[in-house]
Amino acid sequence: IVMTQSPDSLAVSLGERATINCKSSQSIVYSYNNKKGLAWYQQKPGQPPTLLIYWASTRESGVPDRFSGSESGTDFTLTINNLQAEDVAVYYCQQYYTTPYTFGQGTKLEI
Amino acid sequence: QVQLVESGGGLVKPGGSLRLSCAASGFTFSDFYMSWIRHIPGKGLEWLSFISGSGATTHYVDSVRGRFSISRDNSKNLLYLQMDGLRVEDTAVYYCARPRVSGGGNFRHWGQGTLVVVSS
């Protein structure tokens, strides 16, 4: 399954909203729970990725509620409200519906 | 708390071999599938392989199948990645990762990574 993110990079002002998109090449709906196997990660330089969102819209424990995920069909969106300086990072979507698990190419978020 | 610590990276010539290790602690290791994921500089993340808790089931991405081999020693809480036939394009930071739940495919816990450089 190919995951395609857009844009490749974006610059957003502090306090504003950032929107990152991800599209899967096919359906990633689990039949047993009708949920989509889609996760979002944040990766800062020199650090491993951090899980932000899973099941497309469930926020991981400890993740600020400024981060939210949504979906429609095979289109997925990560929204970061009230952008903070510490949000500068590369963001990846990942499908875990089937192996090989695949990531989007990443979106670089700058202030 | 959950801790994953990779080791074994380094500089190797094309065609060479390396074995990466990942020491796990803070959870019942044998209960969890474990994965190796790499980050290629200037590119993105690539999931490579997983192994079931018992070690009986493994799966690989096509780009490493037949060259890399994942294994585990549950008595020592260790995960391994044997890498043979290394290529320049295998240069990356290699992470071991644990999913949120045992058989899941989203990764809550990551090690700090170990750098593998393949160059002549």
Write the DSSP symbol of residue B85.
Answer: S
**Could you tell me the sign of the dihedral formed by the alpha carbons of B86, B89, B95, B97, in that order?**
negative
Tens of pLDDT, residue by residue over A61-109, are 999 999 999 999 999 999 999 999 999 999 999 999 999 999 999 999 9
Do A37 and B44 count as a contact with CB atoms less than 8 A apart? no
Whether the Cβ atoms of residue B36 and residue B49 lie closer than 8 Å to each other:
yes
CB contact under 8 A, A100 and B111: no
Looking at B6-57, list the stretches that DSSP marks H as alpha helix, in order from N- to C-terminal side.
Answer: none
How far is the CA of B100 from the CAs of A8, A53, A100, B109, in angstroms? 28, 11, 18, 7
pLDDT at B8: 97
The pLDDT confidence band at residue A10, using thresholds 50, 70 and 90, is very high
> Cα separation of B44 and B33, whole Å?
23
User: Which pLDDT does position B102 carry in this prediction?
Assistant: 82
Look at the block and give the residue holding tokens 């002002």. Answer: A13
Does B112 sit within 8 Å of A48, measured CB to CB? yes
Does the CB of B32 have a partner CB in chain A at under 8 Å?
A: no
Mutation target among A60, A95, A99 for the B interface, most CBs of B within 10 A: A99
Number of Cβ within 10 Å of residue A94's Cβ equals 24
Q: Identify whether the C-beta of residue A37 lies closer than 8 Å to the C-beta of residue A28.
A: yes
Residue-level pLDDT at B36 = 98
